[in-house]
C-alpha cells in the first residue's frame, strides 16, 4: 500500500509539472492537457455578431420586461430601455448608509389590509422554494441541508435582525449563505420577510395577544 501512495504522489507531481505550468508565452501550439474552456463559442462584451439582423452581439431587453430588481426610469414610457435601482429603503433595506431600517415599505409594495394576507402567502411560496431547504419549513434552521452537516444554519425564529437587515442578507448573502439578489425580485424579498415575521409570531407571540384568535379557532 505504501508503494502505491509513493507512486501516486510521483504521478501527481509529474502531471502537475507537465500540465500545470502554463503561464509563459511561447509560439508553438501548446500541449493542452486541460483545455480550461479556452475556446468558446461566445460573444464578448461590445463584440458584433452576424447572427442577429442588427449586427449587435448584445441584445436589448425584451419589450415590456424588466431586469431583475430594477424599475423603469420613466414609468409612463412603456418602451423605456432605461432602468434604475435607487438607494431607497425599498431597494436597499437601509434608511441611511449602513443603517438598517425596520418595517415593510408599505407604500412601494402597495400593501393594504385587504391584500396583506395574499402578500404573506406569496412570501410563503418564495420562502419554501428558496430558503426552507436550509432554514427548514418552520424557519428553525433544521432544513434538509442542515441534516447533511452544513454547519451554522441560522434559526430564523431567533433572529433579531431588523427587516432591512434581513433584506440585506437575502440580497447579498452572509457566511455560508449565498446571495439571492439575482433569483428573488424586490417584491418577493419583502414578502419573504413578512412571512418570516409571521413564522416568528406564530412561535413567540405573547399568549394574551393570540388568546382570542386561538380560542376562536379551537372552538371551530
Ligand atoms: C445554503 C443554505 C441556505 C439557504 C438556501 C438560505 N440560507 Fe439563510 N443562512 C444560512 C446560513 C449558513 C446562515 C448563517 C450565516 C452566517 O452568519 O454565517 C444564514 C443566515 C441567514 C439570516 C441571518 C439571521 C441573523 O439573524 O443573523 C437570514 C435573515 C437568512 N439567512 C434568511 C434567509 C432567507 C430569507 C433565505 C431564502 C431566500 C435563506 N436564508 C436561504 C444558510 C442558508
Higher pLDDT, 21 or 190: 190
Q: Minimal CA–CA distance to 151: which of 162, 159, 161, 142?
A: 142
Assess whether pLDDT exceeds 70 at residue 120: yes
Give the number of the atom of ligand 1 that is nearest the alpha carbon of residue 151. 12
User: What is the average pLDDT score of the chain?
Assistant: 87
Beta carbon of 126 within 6 Å of any ligand 1 atom: no
For the chain, the C-alpha Rg in angstroms (whole number) is 26
Q: Whose CA is closest to atom 26 on ligand 1?
A: 159
> Could you tell me the pTM of the whole model?
0.71
Question: What's the pLDDT score for residue 23?
Answer: 67
Query: How far is it, in rounded angstroms, from Cα 122 to Cα 136?
Result: 17
Q: Whose CA is closest to atom 40 on ligand 1?
A: 131
Which residues is 94 bridged to in the sheet? Answer: 100
pLDDT band at 70 (very low <50, low <70, confident <90, very high): confident
What average pLDDT does this structure show over 84-104?
Answer: 86
What average pLDDT does this structure show over 122-126?
Answer: 97
Query: How far is it, in rounded angstroms, from Cα 54 to Cα 51?
Result: 9
Assess whether pLDDT exceeds 90 at residue 180: yes
Q: Give me the domains of the chain, ranges plus CATH numbers.
A: 86-219 (1.10.760.10)
Question: What's the pLDDT score for residue 31?
Answer: 78
Chain-centroid distance, C-alpha 44: 26
173 C-alpha vs ligand 1 centroid, how far in Å?
7
Q: What is the DSSP annotation of 68-86? A: TT-EES-TT-TT---EE--
Give the number of the atom of ligand 1 that is nearest the alpha carbon of residue 176. 12
Question: What's the pLDDT score for residue 17?
Answer: 80
Per-residue CA distances from 84 to 72, 88, 184 (Å): 6, 11, 17
Beta carbon of 80 within 6 Å of any ligand 1 atom: no
Assess whether pLDDT exceeds 70 at residue 6: yes
Assess whether pLDDT exceeds 90 at residue 22: no
Query: How far is it, in rounded angstroms, from Cα 94 to Cα 101?
Result: 5
Query: What are the start-end ranges of the H helices in 136-205?
Result: 144-147, 163-172, 186-204
Assess whether pLDDT exceeds 90 at residue 62: no
Beta carbon of 175 within 6 Å of any ligand 1 atom: yes
Q: What angle do CA 168, 169, 171 make, to 5 degrees?
A: 65
169 C-alpha vs ligand 1 centroid, how far in Å?
7
Q: Whose CA is closest to atom 35 on ligand 1?
A: 170
Q: Minimum mean pLDDT among 64-68, 104-108, 121-125, 138-142: which range?
A: 64-68
Query: How far is it, in rounded angstroms, from Cα 72 to Cα 82?
Result: 6
78 C-alpha vs ligand 1 centroid, how far in Å?
37
Question: What's the pLDDT score for residue 122?
Answer: 97
Amino acid at each position: 500500500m505504501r508503494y502505491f501512495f509513493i507512486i501516486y504522489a510521483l504521478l501527481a507531481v509529474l502531471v502537475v509539472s507537465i500540465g500545470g505550468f502554463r503561464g509563459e508565452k511561447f509560439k508553438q501550439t501548446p500541449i493542452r492537457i486541460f483545455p480550461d474552456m479556452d475556446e468558446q463559442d461566445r460573444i464578448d462584451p461590445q463584440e458584433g455578431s452576424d447572427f442577429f439582423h442588427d449586427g449587435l452581439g448584445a441584445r436589448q431587453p425584451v419589450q415590456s420586461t424588466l431586469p431583475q430588481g430594477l424599475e423603469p426610469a420613466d414609468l409612463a414610457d412603456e418602451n423605456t430601455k432605461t432602468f434604475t435601482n435607487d438607494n431607497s429603503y425599498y431597494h436597499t433595506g437601509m434608511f441611511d448608509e449602513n443603517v438598517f431600517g425596520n418595517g415593510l415599505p408599505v407604500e412601494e409594495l402597495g400593501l393594504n389590509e385587504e391584500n396583506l394576507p395574499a402578500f404573506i402567502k406569496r412570501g410563503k411560496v418564495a420562502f419554501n422554494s428558496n430558503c426552507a431547504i436550509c432554514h427548514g419549513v418552520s424557519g428553525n434552521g433544521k432544513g434538509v441541508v442542515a441534516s447533511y452537516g452544513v454547519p451554522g444554519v441560522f434559526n430564523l425564529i431567533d433572529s433579531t435582525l431588523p427587516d432591512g437587515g434581513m433584506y440585506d442578507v437575502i440580497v447579498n448573502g452572509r457566511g455560508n449563505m449565498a446571495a439571492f439578489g439575482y433569483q428573488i425580485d424586490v417584491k418577493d424579498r419583502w414578502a419573504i420577510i413578512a412571512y418570516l415575521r409571521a413564522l416568528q409570531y406564530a412561535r413567540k407571540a405573547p399568549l394574551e395577544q393570540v388568546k382570542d384568535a386561538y380560542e376562536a379557532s379551537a372552538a371551530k
